[in-house]
């Protein structure tokens, strides 16, 4: 018999944040886990949480302290894997949820990793390049106790990029006294990075989107696509959908929403964002709407690719679309999930839709270990196959069990994790 435990003392039951969303998702999958459900409490508590103080000297000579985390949610199937986020709203609850979603995601696409995530509560836009480098290096040194090529492998997430990964790798290499390229993924190509990694998450979103469109009878050619977030994930997905003949009719970033019902010129929008720093003022837009109006725009495919908890019980009733592809992690609350499912919207969940990034991170790690690098065509072909196979496996479970794609993904993934848990047994 398992004992249901109370929440750990470090969580506030009234403000569970994203971790509360994740716990509800686990409750939904539990009835489908059969005898493995005796292990389900394993999924409701992270294996290891490290909180670190990250002090740096600012350029003006003052000392600033930042709150940093690395959470290893589950390592039954392999070393920890998950990104590092620099954002002013990072909380422990958020990093815990993101680490748990990595456990599910890695098992869903069957790459041999557990789930982990890290973050620093900082707005990196307020830091100079030198300050950002010092912050990254000190954070890496603080978490170096628990990361490593066979222990836990960080990667980029919101506001972190290949330069940040290069600094992390270098800091770790200095501490360890050896090169250790495999300690992080999402590195620059010149440092053991993989071709295709930068585009991998957006590409994966496109690949599962194409599969979902077939199931829903939506033609990609001419499909109206609305995207929240025009960064690594949303920006690449926009390009791939536009290249396939879809019309990207709306894009929102942190400054607002640009709309063109005839289809935005995505290449020009990329140039504009590179120059100006946001979609605001894009000359190719018919209209510039405020943040909230975005959710009322009618589309065939909607891609949240910014932050979590964006689609809520407030805006879900206004959403008119056929397919939602969750590029972001945790963009839809469970209440919104139910509202949209009732409206017959097909939601491809984050733990499947955005798994392309970690899949090519896995390829990068494998290439680093063997010091043998693959061509971009090989990488894209392997990525496409893994994403298609994962989508189809999830689709079959969803049909068999008459559940949503999210619950089906959780059934597949949690079964893999808990089977590993069971066969390994409890230590000691
Ligand atoms: N980069 C990856 O490989 C990867 C992999 C899996 C999941 N994700 C998830 O995808 C999401 C986006 O990640 P990214 O790497 O593209 O980040 P990014 O920093 O490159 O881009 C984020 C985008 O979101 C926009 N944004 C920020 N706050 C917003 C707000 N309040 N409203 C509207 N737009 C806002 C920004 O303007 C930017 O366009 C995150 O949830 C991340 O966890 C990323």
Smallest Cα–Cα separation from 77: which of 416, 428, 336? 416
Is the CB–ligand 1 distance for residue 270 below 6 Å?
A: no
Q: What is the pLDDT of residues 385-404, one digit of tens each?
A: 999 999 999 999 999 999 99
- Most informative mutation of 85, 97, 231, 352 for ligand 1 (most atoms within 8 A of CB): 231
Q: Cα of 234 to ligand 1 centre, how many Å?
A: 7
Residue 1: what pLDDT?
41
Flag whether 346 is in a domain: yes
Q: Which residue matches tokens 């815990």? A: 96
Do 349 and 203 share a structural domain? yes
Tell me how many domains the chain contains. 2
Cα 156 to averaged position of ligand 1 atoms, centre (Å): 11
Residue 322 lies in a domain: yes
Mutate to test the pocket of ligand 1, among 254, 324, 357 (most ligand atoms within 8 A of CB): 254
The answer, yes or no, to whether any atom of ligand 1 lies below 6 A from the CB of 103, is no
266: containing domain: 198-353
Query: Quick one: average pLDDT of 33-60?
Result: 97
Which atom of ligand 1 lies closest to the CA of 230?
39
Q: Measured between alpha carbons, how far is 232 from 49 in angstroms, rounded to an integer?
A: 27
Residue 347, domain member (yes or no) = yes
Check the CA dihedral 85-87-93-94 and report its sign.
negative
Within this chain, do residues 227 and 347 fall inside the same structural domain, yes or no? yes
Instruction: Return mean pLDDT, the chain.
Output: 96
3-class DSSP state for residue 384? helix
Q: What is the mean pLDDT of residues 162-176?
A: 97
- Closest C-alpha among 200, 208, 227, 204 to residue 306: 227
In this structure, the answer to whether residues 173 and 216 fall within a common structural domain is: no
What separation in Å is there between the alpha carbon of 86 and the centre of ligand 1? 11
Residue whose CA lies nearest to ligand 1 atom number 41:
328
64 in a domain, yes or no? yes
The pLDDT tens digits of the residues spanning 116-139 come to 999 999 999 999 999 999 999 999
Question: Using CA atoms, how far apart are residues 281 and 414, in angstroms rounded to an integer?
Answer: 45
Known catalytic residues are 117
Among 291, 322, 353, identify where a domain stops. Answer: 353
- Residue 230 near residue 302, CB atoms below 8 Å: no
């Amino acid at each position: 018999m398992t004992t249901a435990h109370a929440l750990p003392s470090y969580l506030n039951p009234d403000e569970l944040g994203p971790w509360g969303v994740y716990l509800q998702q686990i409750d939904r999958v539990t009835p489908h886990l059969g005898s493995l459900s005796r292990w389900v409490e394993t999924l409701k508590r992270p294996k290891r949480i490290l909180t670190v103080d990250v002090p740096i000297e600012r350029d003006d000579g003052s000392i600033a302290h930042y709150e940093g985390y690395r959470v290893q949610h589950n390592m039954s199937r392999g070393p920890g894997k998950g990104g590092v986020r620099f954002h002013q709203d990072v909380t422990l609850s958020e990093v815990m949820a993101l680490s748990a979603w990595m456990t599910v995601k890695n098992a869903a696409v069957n790459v041999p990793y557990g789930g982990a995530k890290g973050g620093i509560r900082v707005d990196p836009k307020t830091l100079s390049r030198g300050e950002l480098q010092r912050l990254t290096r000190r954070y890496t040194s603080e978490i170096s106790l628990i990361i490593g090529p066979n222990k836990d492998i960080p990667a980029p997430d919101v506001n972190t990029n290949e330069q940040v990964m290069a600094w992390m790798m270098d800091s770790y290499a200095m501490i360890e006294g050896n090169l250790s390229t495999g300690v992080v993924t999402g590195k620059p190509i010149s440092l053991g990075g993989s071709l295709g990694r930068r585009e991998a998450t957006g590409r994966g979103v496109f690949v599962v989107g194409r599969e979902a469109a077939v199931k829903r009878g939506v033609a990609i050619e001419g499909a109206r696509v609305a995207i929240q977030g025009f960064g690594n994930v949303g920006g690449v997905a926009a390009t791939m959908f536009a290249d396939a003949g879809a019309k990207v009719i709306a894009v929102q970033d942190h400054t607002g929403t640009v709309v063109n019902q005839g289809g935005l010129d995505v290449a020009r929008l990329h140039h504009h964002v590179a120059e100006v720093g946001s979609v605001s003022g894009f000359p190719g837009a018919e209209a510039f709407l405020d943040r909230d109006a975005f959710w009322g725009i009618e589309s065939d495919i909607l891609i949240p690719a910014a932050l979590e908890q964006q689609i809520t019980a407030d805006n879900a009733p206004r959403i008119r679309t056929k397919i939602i592809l969750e590029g972001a992690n945790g963009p839809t609350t469970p209440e919104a999930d139910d509202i949209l499912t009732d409206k017959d919207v097909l939601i491809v969940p984050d733990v499947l839709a955005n798994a392309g990034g970690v899949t090519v991170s896995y390829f990068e790690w494998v290439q680093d270990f063997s010091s043998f690098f693959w061509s971009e065509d090989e990488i894209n072909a392997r990525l496409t196959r893994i994403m298609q196979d994962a989508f189809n496996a999830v689709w079959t479970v969803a049909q068999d069990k008459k559940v949503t794609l999210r619950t089906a993904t959780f059934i597949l993934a949690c079964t893999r994790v808990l089977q590993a848990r069971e066969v390994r047994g409890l230590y000691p």
